[in-house]
Amino acid sequence: MRARNFWVIVAGSLWLCVLGVVGGVAIDRYRFEPQRAEVIALLGAATDSVNAQIAAPREARWEAALRESREAFARNDRIAADREWREAWRDATRARTWESMTAVGDAAMLMGEPERAREAYLLVLFRARGQHSLAGVLRASEAFEALGDRAVARECLRVAEALPGLGAHERELVRERSQRLAARGHASWSEQ
C-alpha cells in the first residue's frame, strides 16, 4: 500500500507541475499579447539589419592582404610587402577559388617575383579545371603566355578543350586562342 500511495503522490505532483507550467504560459501570453506585435517588429528589423550586413560585399581576407602588400610595395617597403603577400597566399589558398590565386599571382608579377607568380598560376589552372571554369583556364593560359612559358600556355588550352559542357562558341574561342598562341610562337622562332 505504501508503494501505491507513493506513486499516486508522485503522479499528482507531476500533474500539478504540468498544470502550473501550462497555466503560467497562458497567463504570460495573455499578459504580453499587446507587446507581442512590437517585439516581433523589433525582431524583424534586427533580422533585416543582420541580413543586410551579411549581403553587403566585404573584402575577403586575401584581398585585404593584397591591398596591404601593394601599398607596402608602393612605399618601397619590401619586407612588409613580402609579409602581406605571404598572408594573401595563405588566405587565397584557403579561399579555394581560381580568382583569388590569379590576384595573388598578378601581385607577385607586380613585385617582380615570376617564380611565385608561376606557382600561383599553376594553382589557378588546377582550380579552374576542377571547377570546370573556362574563364579560369583561359586566364591561366594568358598568365603563362605573359611569363613566356608557351608550352604551359598550350597545355592550358588543351585543358580548356577537354572541359565538359563547352558549347560551339566556347570551343571556337579556345581554337582561336590556340591558333594565336601558335602564330606568336612561330613569329618568335623566326625572329631568333
Q: What is the pLDDT of residues 82-136, one digit of tens each?
A: 999 999 999 999 999 999 999 999 999 999 999 999 999 999 999 999 999 999 9
Helix crossing, 150-162 with 134-146: angle to 10°?
A: 170
Q: How far is the C-alpha of 117 from the C-alpha of 68, rounded, in Å?
A: 18
* 126 and 184 together in one domain: yes
Q: How many residues does the chain have?
A: 192
**pLDDT digits over 18-44, tens only?**
777 777 777 777 676 676 667 666 667
C-alpha cell at 38: 512590437
**Domain span holding position 164:** 61-191
Q: Are 99 and 91 in contact (CB under 8 A)?
A: no
* 52 and 75 together in one domain: no
pTM > 0.75: no
pLDDT of residue 54: 58
* 40 and 67 together in one domain: no
